[in-house]
Amino acid sequence: MITQKRRTGGFRLELPGLRLQVDPGPGCLLSTRLAGRSTTAVDAIFVSHSHPDHYTEAEVLIEAMTRGGTRNRGLFLGSRSAVEGYRDGSGDYGPVISAYHRELPERVVGLSPGDEVRLPEGRLEATPTEHGDPTGIGFRLEYEDGVIYYTGDTALVDGLFDCIEDAMTAIVNVVRPGSDRIRGHMCTRDVIELVREASELERVFITHFGMKMIRVGPGREARRIERETGVETIAPRDGRAYRI
Ligand SMILES: [Zn+2]
C-alpha cells in the first residue's frame, strides 16, 4: 500500500441487481475513474476489517453511493470493528466511518461470521477469518448464478474450507508467493490447499499482493495454482474488468 507499486482500491463486483464495492482502500475513487467506471453506480459497500488498506476510502465511497449525501440510498456492510468499533486485549479497532457517514446510506449493518443479509437478488453471508483484527470477515454471496466467495484477509484455517466448498468463483487475498507464509495471511501454497477442497469452483482470482509477490510476479503464482489444482486462476491487472 505505501509504495503504490500496485493499486490498493479493492475491487468491484457487478452482478444482476447488485454493484458491490469491496474493501475501498487508498486510491479507490481515482482508480475507478481511471478505469473508466462510474464512481456513483454503487449499490453496496463492504469493508472486511479495520486495516487501512481495506477502509480508507469507505467514507468517500459512501458519498459517491449517496450522491454527495443528497440521497439516502445503498447498503454499507462491514465487520463489527468497521461499523461499531471493537476493543479487546489485542487492540482498539475502528469504527472506520464517522457518525455523519453512518446516517447517509439506507442501511448500515455490522456483521459477524455466520450473519446474513438479504439483498434485492440473493444474499450475503459473513465468513470467518483469522487475522489481526479479531472481528474481520469475508463473505459468501449467493445469487442466481451461484456462489462467490471472498476470503478477506486471513490465514488458512479450517473454517475456510466450508466456505469455498460449493463456491463457483473465489477471490482470495494472497500476500506472499510460494510457501512463504506470514502471520494472518495466505501464501500461494495455502491457496492451492484451499482450492483443492472446492468441488464447484470454476475460477479463482488472486489479489492483495505484498512486495515479494509483486517481485516474483502474481501471474507466475496464478499459473502455479492453476497447474496444481486444475482450476482457472487469474491475477487481475489493475483497472481491468473480468467475467466471473
Ligand atoms: Zn488486514
- Give the Cα separation of 202 and 232 in Å (integer): 6
Express as a percent the part of the chain with pLDDT over 90: 97
Segments making up each domain of the chain, as ranges: 1-113
Q: Cell digits for 142?
A: 449467493
**pLDDT band at residue 120, thresholds of 50, 70 and 90?**
confident
| Burial class of 141 by CB neighbour count within 10 A (0 to 12, 13 to 18, 19+) | buried
**pLDDT band at residue 211, thresholds of 50, 70 and 90?**
very high
Which residues lie near ion ligand 1 (Cβ < 5 Å)? 51, 153
Q: How far is the centre of ligand 1, averaged over its atoms, from the C-alpha of 46 (Å)?
A: 14
Handedness of CA 118, 124, 129, 133 (dihedral sign): negative
**pLDDT band at residue 187, thresholds of 50, 70 and 90?**
very high
Q: pTM, whole model, 2 decimals?
A: 0.97
Q: How far is the centre of ligand 1, averaged over its atoms, from the C-alpha of 7 (Å)?
A: 16
Q: How far is the centre of ligand 1, averaged over its atoms, from the C-alpha of 152 (Å)?
A: 8
CB proximity list for 210: less than 8 A, separation 6 or greater: 175, 176, 182, 185
Query: Which DSSP letter does residue 43 get?
Result: S
What are the tens digits of pLDDT across the range 65-101? 999 999 999 999 999 999 999 999 999 999 999 999 9
Q: Which CA distances in Å does 76 have to 8, 24, 64, 216?
A: 19, 12, 12, 36
**pLDDT band at residue 11, thresholds of 50, 70 and 90?**
very high
- Give the Cα separation of 59 and 62 in Å (integer): 5
Summarize the confidence of residues 27-46 as an average pLDDT. 96
Q: How far is the centre of ligand 1, averaged over its atoms, from the C-alpha of 70 (Å)?
A: 32
- Give the Cα separation of 218 and 177 in Å (integer): 8
- Give the Cα separation of 39 and 138 in Å (integer): 23
Q: Cell digits for 222?
A: 496464478
Q: How far is the centre of ligand 1, averaged over its atoms, from the C-alpha of 209 (Å)?
A: 12
What are the tens digits of pLDDT across the range 24-33? 999 999 999 9
Q: How far is the centre of ligand 1, averaged over its atoms, from the C-alpha of 125 (Å)?
A: 19
- Give the Cα separation of 29 and 38 in Å (integer): 9
pLDDT at 212 over 90: yes
Residue whose C-alpha is closest to residue 203's, from 152, 244, 143: 244
pLDDT at 163: 98
Q: Cell digits for 41?
A: 453506480
C-alpha triplet 206, 209, 213: angle, nearest 5°? 105
pLDDT at 121 over 90: no
- Give the Cα separation of 75 and 85 in Å (integer): 18
- Give the Cα separation of 182 and 178 in Å (integer): 11
pLDDT at 33: 96
CA 132 from centre of chain? 16
- Give the Cα separation of 87 and 221 in Å (integer): 36
Which CATH fold topology does 1-113 show?
Answer: Metallo-beta-lactamase; Chain A (3.60.15)
Handedness of CA 94, 99, 104, 110 (dihedral sign): positive
Handedness of CA 26, 4, 54, 202 (dihedral sign): positive
- Give the Cα separation of 153 and 51 in Å (integer): 10
**pLDDT band at residue 203, thresholds of 50, 70 and 90?**
very high
